[in-house]
Amino acid sequence: MNVLVFDTEEQIGVAAGYYMCGQVLQKPDSVLGLATGSTPLKAYGHMVSLYKQGAVDFSKVTTFNLDEYCHLDVKDKNSYHTFMYENLFNHINIPDENINFLNGNAWDLEAECKNYENRIKAAGGIDIQLLGIGSNGHIAFNEPADAFQRWSHVVALKQSTIEDNSRFFDSIDEVPTHAITMGIGSIMQAKRILIIALGTKKAKAIKQLIDGNVTPECPASVLQFHTDVTLMLDRDAASLL
Ligand code: PGA
Of ligand 1's atoms, which has the minimum distance to the CA of residue 36? Answer: 3
Separation of CA 170 and ligand 1 centre (Å): 18
- 143 in active site: yes
DSSP secondary structure letter of residue 168: G
Separation of CA 38 and ligand 1 centre (Å): 6
CA angle 70, 93, 46 (to 5 degrees): 85
Catalytic residue among 78, 136, 142, 165: 136
Mean pLDDT of 75-97: 97
CA angle 216, 228, 115 (to 5 degrees): 65
Q: Which residue from 12, 34, 36, 168 has its CB within 8 A of the most atoms of ligand 1, so it is best to mutate?
A: 36
Separation of CA 135 and ligand 1 centre (Å): 8
Of ligand 1's atoms, which has the minimum distance to the CA of residue 135? Answer: 8
Nearest CA to ligand 1 atom 1: 37
Reported as a pLDDT band with limits 50, 70 and 90, residue 138 is very high
pLDDT at 168: 87
Separation of CA 6 and ligand 1 centre (Å): 18
**% of the chain with per-residue pLDDT over 90:** 96
134 lines ligand 1 (CB under 6 A): yes
pLDDT digits 0-9 by tens, 172-206: 999 999 999 999 999 999 999 999 999 999 999 99
pLDDT at 158: 85
179 Cβ partners below 8 Å, 6+ apart? 67, 68, 69, 70, 104, 141, 154, 155, 157
Query: If we measure between CA atoms, which residue out of 60, 66, 63 comes closest to residue 39?
Result: 66
Nearest CA to ligand 1 atom 2: 37
Q: How many angstroms separate the Cα of 58 from the Cα of each of 23, 24, 26, 39, 96?
A: 11, 7, 12, 22, 11
pLDDT at 160: 84
- 67 in active site: yes
Of ligand 1's atoms, which has the minimum distance to the CA of residue 202? Answer: 5
Mean pLDDT of 200-226: 97
132 lines ligand 1 (CB under 6 A): yes
Separation of CA 132 and ligand 1 centre (Å): 5
38 lines ligand 1 (CB under 6 A): yes
Q: CB–CB of 94/63 below 8 Å?
A: yes
- Average pLDDT score, the chain: 96
